[in-house]
Each structure stands twice: as C-alpha cells, then as structure tokens.
Amino acid sequence: MEKLYGSHPLFKGVPGLSVCSIKLDTLHTLDLGASAYCFGSVLWSILNQLPGTNRASACLKCFLTSTPGVGQLYDDQGAPASNRMKHLTMADLGGGGDSYPCLKHIKAAKVRAFSPVCVALCKMYQEDRHGKHRLAMVVALDKAYKILGKTWQEWDGEAKKDFQVAMCTFLSHYSWLAEDSMHAGRNLYSLVQKHHLLCHLSTTVGEYFHPSLAHTYGSESFMGICVRMGSSCTRGTPGHKVPLKILEKFRLVFHLFLEGHITMEMEAMDEE
C-alpha cells in the first residue's frame, strides 16, 4: 500500500501520517451512511406506491408493524425484537420538500437487520423497471453484509472479489435509481460522499484486510456507556458533585468490564 499510495502529497507533508492511517469505518460509511440513504429511499418510494397512502406517520407505523406487512417479513427472517424498526415516523425518514429520505435516529444494528427484510419487501414491489433496479440494489447490499459477516481469517481472495462485486453492483443500481428519480422530479437516492468512500472501502481497504478490523463499534459503544453513566449521575446530585460521582461509577463499570462480567459486544447491540 505504501508503494502504491505513498507518493500522495498528503502522506509526504504530515509527520507520522501514512496510508495505513486511513481507515474507513463500516459503521458510519455503510450502516449510518449509504445503507441509511438506500433504505430510506426504498421505504419512501414504496409507501408512495401503496393505494390510499397519504404518507402520514400513522400509515408508516402500520406499514412497519402490521401483519401481513413488514412486521410479517421480520418474523419470517427471525429478527429479534430489539433489532426491529417499530416506531419509525416520517420525520425519521426525513424526506419531503427539497430533502432526501434517509433513516435518521436509527441505530446501526437495526439498519443492518433491516437488510434482508428490505430484500423481501422489494420482491413484493418489482412490477416496473424502477422496481427491478431497486430489488437488484438491495440484493447486492444484503450480499455485501453477508460477506462482511465473515471473520478476518476467512477474508481470502474469493471473499475480497465477492465483496468488491457486491459493492460495485449496489452502487451501479443506486446511481441508476438516483438518475431516474432526478429525471422524474423526485428527491430520492441522494448521492453523498459516503458512496464515494464505499468504492475505496471495497477496492482498496478490502483488498488488504477485513473492513471490520477498522470499525468503531467498540469505541462508539463505550461512548454510549459513558453517556448513560453520566445521565444516571445527575438526578438528585448537586452540580459540583457530579464529576466525582461519574468517576466513581466509571471505575466500577470499567472494573466489571476488565473482569469479564460485561463485554463491548453486548453493549454494542444496545447502543447501535
């Protein structure tokens, strides 16, 4: 990598900075980035296809929890209740007007768990050309998620190639849908910087090591632990005594973590 990219001016002028310092995080690049925009636009476009839909929050809530509906698709996939999007509102989609739909206020674990459900949902609405591209897009994204589920020991040449093909297929169909929506005057499938970073994630980062080796799930989860500790120390405590109380609770929590009584993985599922 150093031989390929070491001549870039960025790595020549900053001491201690090398190509190995650049790590793309799947949590923000994929889960809370490209996937959030993808699933948000998919839900928005399908809601507009439903008969009698006025795009109200109550309709979206019914769409996500009803049986048959997305609720049934969650059951078919065996998704745990903690990873289901049950209370999504139109404000969480963020579409309408000049804005583009995007899953907002949704934890990364719920975004990932929605991937196979979204595939099943798009299979139900693939009558026209737009629907077929939409289905091919989410199928490629779901395949990429399955490949990312492999351990770093399993990240061989075949896994690298499959991941690159899945990401390129996803971005290709996403770009087609974005252009088609633009010509139709609909604000769907926004193309942002994170879609460009996905190209690098699959073609450069994924070429040398498993992308999950650079993820920030642990640190983000630890930040969530600290936030919960801080919020639990404010009630009934004078302001000048809050810092000491937080430090005492932090010492207890970190002791439990080092002793193995709690794990980052358990907390990650809660915080994402």
pLDDT at 258: 86
Alpha-carbon span 58 to 89, nearest angstrom: 8
Task: Please report where in the chains the tokens 């998620």 appear, as a residue.
Answer: 145
Contacts of 30 (CB under 8 A, 6+ apart): 144, 194, 198, 201
Contacts of 151 (CB under 8 A, 6+ apart): 210
Alpha-carbon span 73 to 128, nearest angstrom: 22
pLDDT band at 68 (very low <50, low <70, confident <90, very high): low
Choose the most confident range, by mean pLDDT, from 95-104, 111-120, 220-229: 111-120
pLDDT at 4: 53
Alpha-carbon span 45 to 133, nearest angstrom: 13
140-144, 170-174, 236-240: least confident range: 236-240
Residues forming a β-bridge with 96:
99
Higher pLDDT: 180 or 87? It is 180
pLDDT band at 176 (very low <50, low <70, confident <90, very high): very high
pLDDT at 269: 42
pLDDT band at 272 (very low <50, low <70, confident <90, very high): very low
Helix, strand, coil abundance in the chain, percent, nearest 5: 70, 0, 30
Task: Record the pTM.
Answer: 0.74
- Tell me what the mean pLDDT of segment 37-52 comes to: 83
**H or E element: which one contains 153?**
none
Higher pLDDT: 131 or 93? It is 131
Mean pLDDT of the residues in the chain: 80
pLDDT band at 143 (very low <50, low <70, confident <90, very high): very high
Higher pLDDT: 77 or 8? It is 77
Residue 158 has pLDDT above 80, yes or no: yes
> b or e along 180-189 (b: 16 or more beta carbons within 10 Å of the residue's beta carbon)?
bbeeeebbbb
pLDDT at 141: 95
- Tell me what the mean pLDDT of segment 50-54 comes to: 59
Coil vs helix vs strand at 263: coil
CA 223 from centre of chain: 18
Residue 222 has pLDDT above 90, yes or no: no
Choose the most confident range, by mean pLDDT, from 11-20, 68-77, 249-258: 249-258
Question: What does the DSSP assignment read for 15-54?
Answer: TT--GGG----HIIIIIIIIHHHHHHHHHHHHHHHSTT--
pLDDT band at 95 (very low <50, low <70, confident <90, very high): low
Coil vs helix vs strand at 99: strand
